[in-house]
Every structure is written in structure tokens, then in C-alpha cells.
Amino acid sequence: MRTILLTTLIFLMLTACSTDSKKMNLTGTVKGLKKGVLLLQKFEDTILTTVDSVVVDGNSNFSFSEEVESPEIYYLYVRLKDGTLRDDRITFFAENKAMNIQTNLENFGSAAIVKGSKNDSLLSAYNKVKQRYVSRNLELIEQHFKTGKSNNDSLTKDLAQKQQTLVSSKYLATINFALNHKEQEVAPYLMLSEVYNANIKYLDTVYRALAPKIKDSKYGKELESFIVNRKKIDTIL
């Protein structure tokens, strides 16, 4: 009898752990936020939808418990006590794990530190790579603006070529990043969000390289569908 009870207890504990692991337990702090509402949102059928909300009243800590069917991008907004919805938001890769976000009200989106998600860490690493291309492009735009005033056609063409080369380099860097992390959901996400208009062969190459579980994820399925539709359009054109 004692053995049966012990076995049952262990089974219940394992079941409880399994159930908890299927949810994202998101905790965090927004320093400086005394009164307001935090909105947890994601896209559903191209519509940004609030899936949960938490009222903040005197305590800047917050927590959400949300079942994430497949790792995907979520957003955290803050609505102030006067009803104003802040323009900036926190974009993060949600997973069914214990996650934590630390930020402050003044720099809500830019100051956010997200912990607990492998995909979010990889997305942050990619964004640092992307920022180098963004900064270089801004430099070229500035040069292009100055050159335009001098009506120097040769310099204008040279800068345009440099911008095109920069775009190609950024695309290749993104594709390589996805291939290097083909066992994470961030790979198909980047193909859909950053290089969706790249040559179809590159999209196909990344999709075929994805791990089986990633192909079966939300973004894996969306990438597959996108490729199929792109091929149909390319055939018509």
C-alpha cells in the first residue's frame, strides 16, 4: 500500500512539473511605474491582440502566466494611469519557461533586459549584427544627401552601388545566422521578418536545413507556407 501511494505521489509530481513546463511564467519589474496597466500582446491572424493584462498599483513588480503553443514573438505595452498607451514597447521571444524582464518606465522598450529564453538571446545577438548594417546605411544616406546637393552623378551612382552591396551583405549575414541556429525557432522567424523578399532558393535552403521540430513550429510552418506561395507567384510571373 505504501509503495502504491509513493508511486502515485511521484506520478502526480511529475504531471505537475510537466504542466508547469507548458506555460511561460513571466515575471519582472518596471522601475518608476506606480500606477498603470501592463498589456501582454501578440499577433493573431495579423491583428495585434491583448492576451492578458496586469494592473499595477503601487508595486512595480508584475507576473503573467501564459501558455505559448510554440515559441513566438510577444509584446509588452504599458498603459499609464491616465489611459495613455506608451508608444514604445518591449518585443521579446516568448517560450514556455520561467522568464524575467527588467526595465524602467522612462526607457521602457530600450532598457529592457529579458532573461530565460534561448530564442530571445539569439534574437538579441542577431539585432547587434543587424545594427552594424543599419548604422552603415545611415552613413551612406547622409553621404548621398550631401552628394545630391553637389549634383555629382558618379558619386551618387557609387553610393547607390554601396547601398545595394550593403543590403546583399545584410541578407547573407541573416541567412548564415539562421543556418547556424537551425535548431531554434528564431531561424525561420528571421527569414520571415528580415529577408522574406530574398531569392527563393535561399529561403528554401534554410527551410530544408531546419530541425524537424523547428519545421513543425509556428514560424517553421509559416515559412513553409510562404515559400509555397512565393513559388506559385514566381511561376505566374
Task: Supply the pLDDT for residue 236.
Answer: 83
Lowest-confidence segment of 139-148, 199-208, 223-232 by average pLDDT: 139-148
Tell whether the model's pLDDT for residue 183 goes beyond 90. yes
- Helices (H), ranges, the chain: 2-21, 118-150, 153-180, 186-193, 200-209, 212-215, 218-236
Tell whether the model's pLDDT for residue 208 goes beyond 90. yes
> Position of cell 524575467?
100
* Distance in Å from the first CA to the final CA of the chain: 73
Distance CA 141, CA 152 (A): 15
Task: Supply the pLDDT for residue 17.
Answer: 44
Give the pLDDT mean for 142-167: 82
Tell whether the model's pLDDT for residue 198 goes beyond 60. yes
Domain 23-116 has CATH 1.20.210.10: no
Tell whether the model's pLDDT for residue 98 goes beyond 80. yes
What is the domain partition of the chain in residue ranges? Answer: 23-116, 120-236
Task: Supply the pLDDT for residue 16.
Answer: 45
pLDDT digits (tens, 9 = 90+) for 109-147: 999 999 999 999 999 999 999 999 999 999 998 887 877
The answer to whether the pTM exceeds 0.85 is yes
Task: Supply the pLDDT for residue 111.
Answer: 96
pLDDT digits (tens, 9 = 90+) for 101-110: 999 999 999 9
